Structures are given as structure tokens and as C-alpha cells.
Amino acid sequence: MKQTHLNGEADRPYTLVAELTYRCPLRCLYCSNPTVLSRAAASPSPSANARTALPAKAGASPRAEAQSELSTEEWTRVMAEAEALGAMQLNLSGGEPLARTDLEALISAGRKHGFYVNLITSAVGLSQDRLLNLRAAGLDAIQISFQDEDAEAAARMAGRNVHAPKLAAAAWARAMGIPLTVNVVMHRENLGRIAAIITMAERLGADRLELANAQYLGWALANRDLLLPDRASLDRARATAAEARLRFQGRMEILFVQPDYHTDRPRACMDGWGRRYLIVNPYGQALPCQAAASLPNPVFENVRQRGLKAIWELSQGFNAFRGEAWMSPTCRGCEFRAVDHGGCRCQAFQLTGDAAATDPACSKSPHHHLIQSSRARADLLAKSESAGAPARSGQGGASSPAPIYRTFPATVTVPFPGGK
């Protein structure tokens, strides 16, 4: 299928995001992993051998789930096929990619196929020896996620106290000369500590600090009232980040990603559907975006059944929201349609039930009131907090909801050196 875009550039992937596993020792309140996993998502092809046979209930046990993950050989083929399409960056992500015992082999395979190989990790379970092995295998860069600068607050967010081993892992990465990105998902609980978070990243010697506000999809949507910041706190944090960005220029790149709930304009999600990114999930489903498996209508295909080139170019799923024909009249007549591509399809679906709707984050959306009312609740909560009624997460404050931790896919334990 031929697609024409206003900028005339063809759809081709630059980045392959390999979600190696959904297993993870943490359960962050804003986790971007699926909240439910459809059977289809976890089904290997009928031709797959008996070892990877379809579990009776997808993800019914961590073991069954692990069995249906793509093998080393399958991932290596996926890398070769993605590289042939033009992908040059490889993000090894999850879940927690360290849970894969073949991570070293996957890194070498990535390098062999010419990728710049990034590991996106919580660093929980990482030992100094393993990091040396990953580096020796050809790892180019590491991104370590921190929940906060304050260990206790971080533990509330991740469901486990792992702040100290994260700090240690970041220090090893620096000592080994591995470029380090510190990633912190920002929300109501930690925005006020942004200055301390920046100092933490500086002390760790990070090359790059990503301060990305939560995107309210999946688990983060379930926890939205607990995470969404009020306007005033957000503005203060943004000003702090802007000042630091100038101060650290050339030493540490600082990125502050606003929550689209407060911008009245949608994000250009994934730079547009099926244009620049190719995601393959642990079970081989190829997706235009990490959250896309939550959508009911597009049919996403599996790399076990079809080559990536055919999936990228021809599949219904990848073509569902390319171009402009699918757009609502609101977007189709809008001057910004080539800029933001109508916003995030997953957000449109999760808030309105219609994946082709204008993203409610946009002020032109007929559903924008959903965003506005949520924003108003966040402002109200902040007011009641500052009036002296602490409504902290998990303490049952009058207006503050209880946290909902991810329960599925099953949380499994990965080796945790020096931990309890």
C-alpha cells in the first residue's frame, strides 16, 4: 500500500524497540506494559514447535509466559529484518530485559546487524560482572529508570525499595564508560523534588536526563488521579528544568516532557502511526506503538507468521492510521494534522472508545472535557493538600485514591545480588 505524506518522506523505521519480556521485579504505578494481554498477543504460530506451544491461558503462569517469549534465534531474525527496512537504533526494553539470560547474545546480534544498541532497564538485578559482560558484548548505551530521588517515595511508586542498587548500577556504568541516560517518570508525587532529581543525575554523571511526565495510558490511566499534577506544580517544575537545561548544556542533556493533559495540544505520538518506530513485543507481535495492543480493531500480526517487511508495508494494523483518510473531520480539516497526526490513537481509544477519534488532549476534541475535568480534580486536590489536609497516596486521604499496582503479567523475581 502506497502512502503519501505532506512531507513526502516515506514510512521507514529508524528504531526497533524490542520488548524482550514483560517479566519485571517492579510494578510501577505508571508502567507502560499492557494491563491485559489478549490471547492473540501471546499466541505463537501453529507452526511453532512444541516447546513454545500456546499456554492454555496466556500468561497463566510466569513459566508459560516465559515459554512463549521469542527465542534468541527469533529475535536475531527480527533484528536482521528490521535492519533491512532501515532501522539503525535498537532499544532492548521490557518489562525488565535483564530477566533474559540471553541478553548478552541479543546485544551481540544487534551489533552484528549494525545497530546502535541501547539497554532500557530498571537495573534491578544487575551486577557489576554482568554489566561488564553486556559491555563486552557491544552494549552502546544504557538508560536506567529511577522513580525518584527519595528512596522511600521511589519504593511507593515501584512497589519495592530498589533505589540503592540503582545508584550502584549507574556508578558502574559511568566507571565502564557506558553513556548513561537517567530516566525519571514525573508525576504529582515527585515533581516537587525535581531540583534534587537533577542533582542526583548530575552526581551520577549522566549524559542525559529524561524527565518525562507520565502518559496516562494503561496502568498510569488506572492511577491517573494519584499521578496527575496540578498546573502550578507543573509550571514550577518546568521552569526548574528549563533553567537546568541551560546550566548543564554540553555536559548533561535535560529533556522535560510535559503531560499532554496540561498542554491542550496532543503529542505527535511515535512521530505518527507506523512512520518511524517498530515495536516487537515479547510474544512476537509487531506494533506501531507500545500501547497499541490495547486497541481492539486493528489486526496486528506476529513475526512468527509473517516477515517484518510485509507486516510493516502491508498489514492492516500498520496501515490503520497512516496518512489522513482515517481521521475525524475535526483533524482532517486542521492545519496541525501533519504536525501531530491527530495525536495518540491509544489515548483516543482509552478515553473515548474510538481509536480514530481526535485525541481528547486536543482542545478541538469534542471529548476535551474529559481532560479538563481530570485536570480540575488535580488542581482541587493540590489546593486541599496545601490547605493542610495531607492526601498522600496509599494513606486513604479523602480525595486521593489508593494505588493500583500492576498484577499481570505475573511479577517474577530476577536474581538480586546483595538484596534481601
Partner 1 sequence: MATDYFPRLSGKARLRVDRVSGATFLLYPERGLRLNATAAAILSLCDGCRNVAEIARAASHGTDIGPGESEREVGTFLADLAKRGLLENGPA
Binding site for partner 1 (CB under 8 A): 10, 12, 14-15, 83-84, 86, 88-89, 91, 114, 116, 118, 140-141, 143, 177, 179, 181, 207-208, 249-253
CA distance 165 to 172: 11
Secondary structure of residue 52 in the 3-state scheme? helix
Shorter beta-carbon distance to partner 1: residue 12 or 369? 12
- What does the radius of gyration of the chain's CA atoms come to, in whole angstroms? 21
Pick between residue 68 and residue 143 the one whose CB is nearest to partner 1. Answer: 143
Query: How many whole angstroms from its chain centre is CA 263?
Result: 20
Query: Based on the number of CB atoms within 10 Å of its own CB, is 295 exposed (0-12), middle (13-18) or buried (19 or more)?
Result: buried
C-alpha cell at 342: 491527530
| Shortest Å, Cβ 249 to partner 1 | 6
Residue 95 binds which entry of partner 1, ligand SF4, none, with Cβ cut-offs from 5 to 8 Å by kind?
A: ligand SF4
- If one asks whether residue 344 binds ligand SF4 (CB under 6 A), the answer comes out as no
CB contact burial 97-127 (16+ within 10 A = b; e otherwise): bbbbeebbebbbbbbebebebbbbbbbbbbb
Encoded amino acid at 350, one letter: Q
CB of 167: closest distance to ligand SF4 in angstroms?
16
- Give the residue from 164, 103, 158, 156 showing the smallest Cα distance to 134: 103
- The amino acid sitting at 373 is S
Angle at 34 between CA 29 and CA 39, to 5 degrees: 150
Min separation Cβ 268 and ligand SF4, Å: 9
Helix (H/G/I), strand (E/B), else coil: 18: strand
Of 206 and 362, CB closest to ligand SF4: 362
Minimum gap (Å) between residue 286 Cβ and partner 1: 19
Q: Please give the grid coordinates belonging to residue 48.
A: 511453532
- Cell numbers that stand for 339 in this block: 504536525
Parallel, antiparallel, or unpaired: how do β-strands 286-287 and 277-280 relate?
Answer: antiparallel
Q: Angle 290-214-70 (CA atoms, 0-180°, nearest 5)?
A: 25
Three-class DSSP category at 195: helix
C-alpha cell at 270: 511515535
The distance in angstroms from the start CA to the end CA of the chain is 54
CB-wise, 88 or 382, nearer to partner 1? 88
The piece of 24-32, 208-216, 236-244, 368-376 that touches ligand SF4 (CB under 6 A) is 24-32
Q: Using the rule CB under 6 A, is 266 a contact of ligand SF4?
A: yes
* Residue choice 130, 276, 306, 364 for contact with ligand SF4 (CB under 6 A): 364
Is 31 an interacting residue with respect to ligand SF4 (CB under 6 A)? yes
24 forms part of the interface with ligand SF4 (CB under 6 A)? yes
Give the whole-angstrom CA distance, residue 115 versus residue 119: 12
Q: Total number of residues binding ligand SF4 (CB under 6 A)?
A: 26
> With respect to ligand SF4, which residue has the nearer C-beta, 312 or 321?
321
Residue 113 or 345 with smaller CB distance to ligand SF4: 345
- Closer residue to partner 1 in complex, CB, 10/310: 10
Q: For ligand SF4, what does the binding mask look like between residues 122 and 161, x meaning CB under 6 A?
A: x----------------------x----------------
Task: Work out which of 44, 55, 95, 282 binds ligand SF4, going by CB under 6 A.
Answer: 95
Q: How far apart are CA 321 and CA 327, in angstroms?
A: 8
Can residue 331 be called a binding residue for ligand SF4 (CB under 6 A)? yes
Which of 21, 358, 393, 400 contacts ligand SF4 by CB under 6 A? 358
Q: What is the CB-side half-sphere exposure of residue 100 using CA atoms within 13 A?
A: 28
**Measured distance CA(29)–CA(222) in Å, rounded:** 8
CB of 206 to partner 1, least distance (A): 11
Q: Is 340 in the site for ligand SF4 (CB under 6 A)?
A: yes
59 close to 65: Cβ distance less than 8 angstroms: yes
The nearest distance, CB 155 to ligand SF4, in angstroms, is: 12
Query: Is there binding between residue 343 and ligand SF4 (CB under 6 A)?
Result: yes
**Considering only CA atoms, which of 47, 59, 77 is closest in space to residue 21?**
59
* Residue 97 in the binding site for ligand SF4 (CB under 6 A): no
Q: Does 245 bind ligand SF4 (CB under 6 A)?
A: no
Report the residue number, 166 or 304, with the smaller CB distance to ligand SF4: 166
Q: What is the DSSP letter of 281?
A: -
86 vs 419 by CB, closer to partner 1: 86
Among 337, 368, 397, 410, binds ligand SF4 (CB under 6 A): 337
Q: Give the footprint of ligand SF4 on this chain (CB under 6 A).
A: 24, 26-28, 31, 33, 94-96, 122, 145, 265-266, 330-331, 334, 336-337, 340, 342-343, 358-359, 362, 364, 406
